[in-house]
Amino acid sequence: MTDKPDSYSGFNEYNPLLDTDSLKYDTDLQQAVLKTSHGRRAPPTGLAGAGTGQKGGFFSRMKNMFGGKKGTGLPGPPGTSSGRLGTASRAVQQQNSVGGAPPGSASRRLQTGTASGGPRRPTTAVQGAGFTTGSMSSGAALSGPTQFERKEETTEDKAKKMEKTVLDLVEESCLAFEKNDSKLALEKSEEAVRNEKSLNRYREEQNLGESDLSLTGFVILHCANMLAKCGMNSEAMNQYNLILKNKLLPVPSRLRINIGNIFLRSKQYAKALKMYRMALDQIPEQNADLKFKVRENIAATHILLVQYAEAAQAYESIMQERPNYRSGLNLLLCYHTLGQRDKTRKAFTDLLKIPFLSSDDDYQASIDKDDKQGNLVLEATRDDRLRQFERKRRRFAEHVIVTAAKIVGNNSDGDFVGGYEWCIEQVRNSTYLELASGLEIQKAIAYLREDNFPKAISTLKEFEKAEAKLASAAATNLSFLYFLEKDLNSAHKYADLALKTDKFNPASLINKGNCCYAQQDYEKARYYYEEALNIDSGSVEALHNLVLTLMKSKQFQRCKDLLHKYTIIQPSNAQVFCLMAEVLQHTNDSENAKSWYLQALSTYRTDGHLHRRIGEVIDIQGDKADAIQYYFDAFRHNPCDIKTLEWLASYYIETQYPEKAVEFCAQAALVKPGEIKWHLMVASCYRRYGDYTAALEKYKWIHQHFPDDIDCIQFLVKISTDLGLPERELYENELKKVNKMKEIQIQRKTSADKSRNIIKGRKISQAENDGSYSKNDDNRQLSGRKRNPIDLDNTEGVFSQQEPVTIRPFVDNFSQDMGDDRPKTAIRRKEPAKSLFDENDDAAELLPD
């Protein structure tokens, strides 16, 4: 007989998530129930067994709530219609007490309608029925403590709260330091130390046991680290020594490393070396990485102590056990300093044996294009943090290898070409093959250092057909070389070639802008500089050149905006401050310009030009008393600045102190001996304060070196007349000769101009009639002979002269009996020059405007 299928099967099956047996062990549910209205209810007070029913607290309530067996007929949890008790049903209360369920919310109200020992009133909604007076049976239960009353905080809880406050302060200090707010981080760490001391005192007062030494050491260590970061080395040292003395932390080796770092920053290298060696002895063998770092610190300290042999020995042991780029480069530098050429080359070959990281192109080539999953992974990891770290390590390795090659190449007993060739050969035979072309460019730069431009240019031209990256770099360097040689056409050519190869090369754009700037094409220069900044926003060269271009275009507002950005990039560059002050001067903002100049002066206090610029700004504001102080400082720091000397001389002449002005005029005459005005001002100052003898001697000296100067001869005539000297007639004759000479020069110049205009007119008419002459025909000489080019190798007598040029021989050709009759010309006779002087003659007229 086959079993019939059970029609009621499956009704007792349920999801295990709905099982209520394990709810009393679920702490999350218990916490959630406490936050509900049921959990916040007051405990029952009207039942005799309330005290025992609530003895277990919350867990007992959860057990009563969910502990009932399925199908037992016991009432469900309170809060439902079946579990809520009436106000006068003793039988229901007794049943619930037997079942273990807590009374409902109705039983928590006071029993107002039942007498002591009598029947309870029926449940009503308005008022009690059959009320009898009597004492409440559960009144005694109201006076006892309840479960939900706030417990008094114990001493242990208070200590834990204070400990949590200390840890929170340390965490806030760490977060502040991450935000570069060192001051706030130090304040929080010191406050944490104070709170930790208060915690220790409280535990001692309350007899809560010994204080936690690990917490004390942790807080003091953090405070010491913050003190060291803020440059308070002595205070940090005291904190570290406190930890070591009291043995608050079980890691004394790390503390000694920190102390050694402080000694190193304080330039106490011997003490730092001692601490590093003590730390090295205390580090266990399991911590090999830390031991290697300490050994590197010891080797670096030997270098600072100028103990290169000991440093080389330390780095040799490190390179044998764990080779790395930094230690290898330092070892090579030690050998280079000691003059050991063979060991230097050996250190270079050891560097080349370190495995080189693969480039991003190698990653891309290893994945098939049809592999969609691989391509997605590659795209996701193209610029992740690990790939950025690999690129950083690769750039550092390239920098180390190129730097080492420069050192080896220049350390070849003067034959730097042979040294570079050896390095290039070694690199080509190693895993760093792609760096060989970059070393070729470095060889060209070495030619530049030797002022061998042809070799450098020929070396760089070999890269014109190389790969794009190298061709762009070579063309950029060639453009810069031709720009230095002022060959703007070639500079333009190679700048265009570099941009054609790599249009996102900011150096090429800057070179192109420089060429346009030199040709005074400021709009194009501005365009190229802005493009370079769009590619590399931190390019200082492009930003600086763009500011200069905008200043030429008088776009001062944009200059201000760019200079504010410039100050953010280089906040301590005095040149930026001077540019800002100059822009503000153009906008008539003298006060702010003065503040920027003063900011630059705070960096370079001995710069005479800055003192003069500040004096100019103050002089424009009308405060000459303050301006003269800055001009005096400018003269003290730079006594050869002609503008400073000119202002000081003018100031003392205007204030009627010629005896002080003569000092600055004499200094200016020494700086520029070829300018006659400074010699005349010296003589004028002598004459103004009454030293006629010195003035006469100075005028004679001027007349000897500048015999054709009319002003000097006029002053000689006047002084000779005032002093009654017999040389007066001689100087008057000299004055007449010079005046005649000037007239003849004027006549010849006038005649030549007229002849030139007539000839030019004839040539223009001939060109119009024939139509076969060019516009430049008027520049040919009348004789028709071709001009010989100037021999630049033999310029003696062309660009330089041994003696001052005079035209006295021309005057000497005139006969001695020549009178005042003018030559026979068609020009109207001029009145002879008269030497008119009066007592109010002022030498200040000779001053520059």
- For the cut 50, the answer to whether the pLDDT of residue 845 exceeds it is no
| Amino acid letter, residue 54 | Q
Per-residue pLDDT reduced to its tens digit, 762-774: 555 554 555 444 4
Report the mean per-residue pLDDT for the chain.
76
- For the cut 90, the answer to whether the pLDDT of residue 376 exceeds it is no
676-688 helix and 710-723 helix, angle to the nearest 10 degrees: 20
What is the rounded distance in angstroms from the CA atom of residue 733 to the CA atom of residue 720? 13
Least confident of 242-246, 313-317, 571-575, 727-731: 727-731
pLDDT value of position 280 = 92
∠ CA 318-321-323 to the nearest 5 degrees? Answer: 65
Which residues touch 682 (CB under 8 Å, ≥6 apart)?
A: 662, 665, 666, 669, 698
User: Please, are residues 444 and 456 in contact by the beta-carbon 8 Å criterion?
Assistant: yes
Percentage of residues in the chain having pLDDT higher than 70: 70
pLDDT value of position 689 = 85
What is the rounded distance in angstroms from the CA atom of residue 669 to the CA atom of residue 702? 11
- For the cut 90, the answer to whether the pLDDT of residue 475 exceeds it is no
HSE at residue 605, side-chain half, CA atoms within 13 A, is 1
Per-residue pLDDT reduced to its tens digit, 245-293: 888 888 889 999 999 999 999 999 999 999 999 999 999 888 889 999 9
Point out which residues pair with 78 in neighbouring strands: none
Task: Give me the mean pLDDT over the 485-513 stretch.
Answer: 89
What is the rounded distance in angstroms from the CA atom of residue 624 to the CA atom of residue 212? 70
Least confident of 52-56, 241-245, 713-717: 52-56
Q: With the C-alpha atoms ordered 238, 241, 243, 249, is the resulting torsion angle positive or negative?
A: positive
Distances (CA, A) of 183 to 167, 176, 227: 19, 9, 10
Which is more confidently placed, 278 or 62? 278
Per-residue pLDDT reduced to its tens digit, 148-165: 555 677 888 888 899 999
Q: Do domains 158-308 and 310-369+388-534 have the same CATH topology?
A: yes
What is the rounded distance in angstroms from the CA atom of residue 839 to the CA atom of residue 841? 6
Q: What is the pLDDT confidence band of residue 715, given thresholds at 50, 70 and 90?
A: confident
Residue ranges per domain, the chain?
Answer: 158-308, 310-369+388-534
pLDDT value of position 74 = 41
pLDDT value of position 760 = 60
Which is more confidently placed, 598 or 766? 598
Q: What is the pLDDT confidence band of residue 14, given thresholds at 50, 70 and 90?
A: low
Torsion of CA 467, 470, 476, 479, to 10 degrees: -70
User: Please, are residues 471 and 463 in contact by the beta-carbon 8 Å criterion?
Assistant: yes
- For the cut 90, the answer to whether the pLDDT of residue 513 exceeds it is yes
Least confident of 500-514, 565-579, 787-801: 787-801
Q: What is the pLDDT confidence band of residue 795, given thresholds at 50, 70 and 90?
A: very low
Which residues touch 176 (CB under 8 Å, ≥6 apart)?
A: 182, 184, 185, 188
CATH superfamily of 158-308: Tetratricopeptide repeat domain (1.25.40.10)
pLDDT value of position 1 = 46
Which is more confidently placed, 750 or 804? 750
- For the cut 80, the answer to whether the pLDDT of residue 602 exceeds it is yes
Task: Give me the mean pLDDT over the 293-314 stretch.
Answer: 93
- For the cut 80, the answer to whether the pLDDT of residue 779 exceeds it is no
Residue 395 parent element (H or E)? helix 385-410
pTM metric for this prediction: 0.52
Domain 310-369+388-534 has CATH 1.25.40.10: yes
pLDDT value of position 82 = 39
Q: Any idea how long the chain is?
A: 849
pLDDT value of position 96 = 41
Per-residue pLDDT reduced to its tens digit, 324-349: 999 999 999 999 999 888 899 999 99
pLDDT value of position 125 = 53
Task: Give me the mean pLDDT over the 197-204 stretch.
Answer: 89
Q: What is the pLDDT confidence band of residue 470, given thresholds at 50, 70 and 90?
A: confident
- For the cut 90, the answer to whether the pLDDT of residue 314 exceeds it is yes
Percentage of residues in the chain having pLDDT higher than 90: 30
